[in-house]
Structure 1
């Protein structure tokens, strides 16, 4: 039952205490009676052992001094690098006998970790069948799973007006069931779409942009392009007009594939993209496109028209090679001009192999797809599902839940109808679910809140011991779980770090396994993934099967491999999944990528610590670039440069926590302007120091920064949501700025950590 149904009448504090004590007593008796059965059935000692197992070990080390010996202990045996700067150690032993590998030498400047896991069945099958491009992947699965459900879209019967209690009228959908296409049907549609593009004059290796929200036509279009060896240029649907135009113009595309809902936006962008001569749009189920107002000499085709052209075409497929470009994926661009990351077919296949080994997905699973396919994380997870024959039902934030804004009252959201078993997410969405649960509980009766808290604490205590709690799940958390359809067993989180509290609450309340990973567009979304047996929270996971993770000393930030209790350093990722570089940015590519030890490597700029079992925890970022919880990048230096031009600011340090969705700022205010601002809000006869301590002045300064930030055309997420007024002026003598008065971020953060915590808590 839900928290709202737990209400049994008004009770005073004593009554609630007695009731909860009685519940505890009943639970205690049940625990005694059922413990032997649960012990034998669930075997928690095995669960705990699997969680603690070694997941990666050190396989290489490098020193500054080539004369220095590096001694590393692996599985009880000592390996010494004698008078060489770099030592490649023996392959890791089997997982069952692996143990922690510790660099003994203080002179070590980098260490390389590698997974001890073995290639799984799907990985081996891909190798055996010589599946080395995305075109071959879909050719293979379309035969293997020909008659199985592949892609599904929910039918929209009508759009109706719904009167709200406040008198307003909202547009709501009258939705039907999911309509499915089989793997064989999708293959035919994709093949015909690719041939139709060729009929329109698009040639192999000449890029085409997909600028659309996630839907089945997106995947069909991409598969059709792969069949013809036409690179897919992906651009976020949420980018600004200039960023979208930049990606289109830089890749010199002449054809853009978009959707009906984005056509009005693209109508304005067309004037900034002189090369575009063809626009193909994915149709709406109800509405027709108004062709008026579009730029002359631009041909507009329906998605279905292109498929029809291809169905009668005599053009043969033009399959790509493994080293051909599959995707040019543009970043979000919130830090300036978006960069296009080049991804080859071999990069994508490498990640698919590693994801197969890291994430347990079964033929009986169903994925709900709603994150942007223009994001490498979602694209690779959906590609993994297709590879193992898992159907994908598409959704959106407008229709996903029963309470979503486009769902008509009394009807079901997509999750309730689809009943998925797997879903991808970003931390921001999981945080919203978590806060929604907390809000619902807080509005329930006192006894309901007390019972929920008891059940939560009870379950958390037992799952930490390695047990499951099926009775509590059914009685207390069933209604919570039904928010996302009632059958979800696996949530894969990526795009930003997931806070430990949210991770734990989602596991408990939704009764699901939550796996998070770490990767970048430059590494084709792959680097480390949590082990499916890992019971911990707050860690990104261990290196995947074909990935090497190197930790490199960052002396400037005081992070070193020799740090105790855990080695710390910058994360550098190596493997076949590492991109060849940035599109038309050779200097930037040279700065961030390099070749060594027969591998391609990418310098992430992220700082991590590596735990004894080979799992990684991200703890800092080398550059002043922060990715917020929703995946938006914030360039702290850029924001500070703009906000320093505000009269109220003498100096400012912006701080962003990757587990939050907003920034905060430490502000050294201009004394005279602060006093003037205080007078405007009615505060007089206060000293500068007193003004800096007043919450009213913090709010007033924050309002000034918000107005100034908008004038400077900063994005909403770039403008700090809270400020702390600092009384002292930062100087080199204080150690908070350099001699050139550049901010020393780490020192500032350490000095004002309490204030930063207070701002986020508020």
Structure 2
């Protein structure tokens, strides 16, 4: 086996699964997130019996920490640091060869085009993709070559790609959505420029002041994004507008409403795009025409503002690792908000009653229920986990089906809207059901909130929230309370500030039409920004509820006690 480990992705190539001759073996690729933690990485390596690791130079120290628990690893191939940093010396006691990637390239050039090779069949395993583990130990999802090509066709049918497009890749390649999007680009001959969230724009933390970020150099036309990234852009634009003079704010609001009105009628506003929204468009390089959003539902407010201010198409899709990222995709000409589109090519969608949540296919005006996805894009199951495979997959009418756990409703034109998730549902003491994900999605649009995790104890009659506040907006709120020049950490510990944030959330929740019992009754302000490195969110920025609860259990108990 071979494993590739970078700051975004590790890939394990299983060279012992499909042997054709004495010298030729069919290789399956296994992906792991570098942010999973040492135990989870070791679990994936040992479960897939990897023998070779490919990683980046900066992550060699991480591998030294877990190499003793991975006895099958015989070789580590590392990508050299582009800035010429010194390579950490390998540990001879580990009996592992450490080789730079350029030597592998050199070896390939020596072998030439006549080296050993073999071709896979459609049902051979192409990738064993480990999930990011938002609900526990990561599971290895088996994806065949047939699964992959089905999704590539579905994406190619749904999205218009032109010969002069430039794609910017910055999401982890261990994320199935990014992997398949880039596969379509490779198929269509579209160049890909690789970036990171730390170097993307001119103001990113790893860009020297006065120099250009990746988007300013690359000028991409297409990119993929998860809702959290778009939510941050949404807040950034709102914050910049709010700091302008009353004249600029009035002009922006007039231009926004004017453009929105004519866009709904099917017309564009090229003059406004240049004069009013040109500066916002330059934030992403000035050429972006399409943003593909996936990984979680995108709020209608964020969808609309990104579309209007950046002058781009925002196309939502829906899929899971188990469905090879394909399920539904919005039509290019669909101007609606909050929906994820109709079933993609070669994909079937069905709804199943969920009585506990009171969702039924007989509901009117829209049928509602748990979404099940069927088709040649659906995975054979989980690697070495037959119990979980039997629980979540089934075969019917000659199709492979997967129970997603997501609740959707089907509209008259065939488009689907994600309205709930079974795993996020909590029943409070008084019998009300609260969808934690739904509440969080609404609260995240509040300017004060950088990130939020809502917790509900079934033995209590209310929910509580852990909030990562926006430092700038929190300082503004504190200033209105007469608390100036106070450190951010001290503000987060101030009970008066905490109560003011809670009041803001209550007002925002009412504006977002949340029910009284859905709005948190207590908050805790967290000074730490939740990142994948902390283990509190996945690499796709989904909340790891169990880990967050364990880390802040004392604060949760305090909120309920108060």
1:566 is the counterpart of 2:356: no
Query: By how many angstroms is 1:296 displaced?
Result: 2.2
Secondary structure of residue in 2 paired with 1:346? helix
Is structure 2 residue 41 aligned with structure 1 residue 244? yes
Aligned to 1:305: 103
The alpha carbon displacement at 1:461 in A equals: 1.2
Q: How does 1:418-457 map to 2 (within 5 A)?
A: 418-457=218-257
Question: CA offset at residue 288 of structure 1?
Answer: 2.8
Aligned residue runs from structure 1 range 184-203, under 5 A: none
Other structure's SS at 1:332 match: coil
Does the 8 A contact of 1:464 with 1:535 survive in 2?
A: yes
Higher Rg of the two aligned structures: 1
Q: SS of the counterpart of 1:609?
A: strand
2:536 matched to which residue of 1?
715
Matched residue SS, 1:429: helix
Task: Say whether 1:296 aligns with 2:94.
Answer: yes
1:88-127 counterparts in 2 under 5 A? Answer: none
Query: 1:714-755, CA deviations, whole angstroms, 9 ceiling, x for partnerless residues?
Result: 837533799896799xxxxxxxxxxxxxxxxxxxxxxxxxxx
Task: State which of 67, 75, 82 in structure 2 corresponds to 1:278.
Answer: 75
Are 1:261 and 2:261 an aligned pair? no
Q: Is contact 1:267-1:294 (8 Å) kept?
A: no
How many residues of Structure 1 are paired with residues of Structure 2 in the alignment?
Answer: 469
1:160 maps to what in 2?
Answer: none
Q: How far apart are residue 292 of structure 1 and its match?
A: 4.7
1:549 maps to which of 346, 349, 352: 349
Take 2:86 and 2:130, find their aligned partners in 1: how far apart are those partners? 30
User: What is the alpha-carbon distance in structure 1 between the residues aligned to residue 522 and residue 160 of structure 2?
Assistant: 50
Q: 2:335 aligns with which of 530, 535, 543?
A: 535
1:469-618 matches, cutoff 5 A? 469-618=269-418
| CA distance in 1: counterparts of 2:386 and 2:455, whole angstroms | 35
Deviation at 1:450, TM superposition (A): 1.3
- Aligned equivalents of 2:209 and 2:54: distance in 1? 34
Report which stretch shifted further, 499-508 or 407-416: 407-416
What SS is found at the alignment partner of 1:290?
coil
Task: Sort the Cα spacing of 1:702 and 1:478 in 2 relative to 1 into closer, same or farther, 3 A.
Answer: closer
Structure 2 SS opposite 1:555? coil
Structure 2 gaps, min length 5: 19-23, 445-450, 461-494, 503-519, 529-533, 538-542
Contact 1:669–1:725 (CA<8 Å) still a contact in 2? no
Residues 669 and 706 of structure 1, relative CA distance in 2, 3 Å threshold: farther
Distance apart, 1:706 and its partner CA: 10
Query: For residues 282 and 535 of structure 1, do their structure 2 counterparts lie closer, same or farther at Cα, with a shift above 3 Å needed?
Result: same
Corresponding position: 1:231 with 2:28: yes
Contact 2:37-2:535 at 8 Å conserved across structures: no
Partners of 2:246 and 2:286 lie apart in 1 by 26
Deviations 1:179-213 (A, max 9, x none): xxxxxxxxxxxxxxxxxxxxxxxxxxxx4322224
Match among 137, 153, 162 for residue 353 of structure 1? 153
Query: Does the C-alpha gap of structure 1 residues 725 and 261 become closer, same or farther in structure 2, counting only changes over 3 Å?
Result: closer
Cα separation, partners in 2 of 1:363 and 1:213, compared to 1, 3 Å: farther
SS at match of 1:412: coil
- 1:115-160, Cα deviation, whole Å (9 max, x unpaired): xxxxxxxxxxxxxxxxxxxxxxxxxxxxxxxxxxxxxxxxxxxxxx
Q: 1:385 to 1:459 in 2, by over 3 A?
A: same
Q: Is the 8 A contact 1:228 1:319 kept in 2?
A: no
- Residue 394 in 1 paired to residue 191 in 2? no
Q: Secondary structure at the match of 2:335?
A: coil
Q: TM-score, normalised by structure 1?
A: 0.57
Go from structure 1 to structure 2 and tell me whether the alpha carbon gap of 1:323 and 1:655 turns closer, same or farther (over 3 Å shift): same
For the pair 1:656 / 2:437, whether they are aligned, the reply is yes
- Provide the C-alpha distance between the structure 2 equivalents of 1:569 and 1:255, rounded to a whole number of angstroms: 44
CA contact (8 A) 1:214 1:370 kept: no
Q: CA deviation at 1:700?
A: 12
C-alpha distance in structure 1 between counterparts of 2:526 and 2:93, whole Å: 39
Q: How is 1:22-421 mapped onto 2 (pairs within 5 angstroms)?
A: 207-213=1-7, 229-286=26-83, 287-293=85-91, 295-313=93-111, 315-421=115-221
* Whole-angstrom distance in 2 between the partners of 1:352 and 1:513: 20
Q: State the Cα distance separating 1:655 from its structure 2 match.
A: 2.7
CA change 1:408–1:278 in 2 (3 A) is same
What CA distance in whole angstroms lies between the structure 2 residues aligned with 1:704 and 1:208? 43
Q: C-alpha separation between the residues in 2 aligned to 1:509 and 1:315?
A: 52
- Cα 1:705–1:381, aligned 2, differ >3 Å: closer, same or farther? closer
The 1:306/1:512 distance shift into structure 2, 3 A limit, reads same
Residues 1-47 of structure 1: CA deviation (Å, up to 9, x unaligned): xxxxxxxxxxxxxxxxxxxxxxxxxxxxxxxxxxxxxxxxxxxxxxx
Is the contact made by 2:36 and 2:535 (CA closer than 8 Å) also made in structure 1? no
Does the aligned pair in 2 maintain the 1:228–1:320 contact within 8 Å?
A: no
| SS of residue in 2 equivalent to 1:400 | coil
How far apart, in 1, do the equivalents of 2:385 and 2:456 lie? 35
CA RMSD of aligned residues (A): 3.5
Question: Does the CA contact (< 8 Å) of 1:654 and 1:664 recur in 2?
Answer: no
**Bigger RCO (CA 8 Å, 6+ sep):** 1
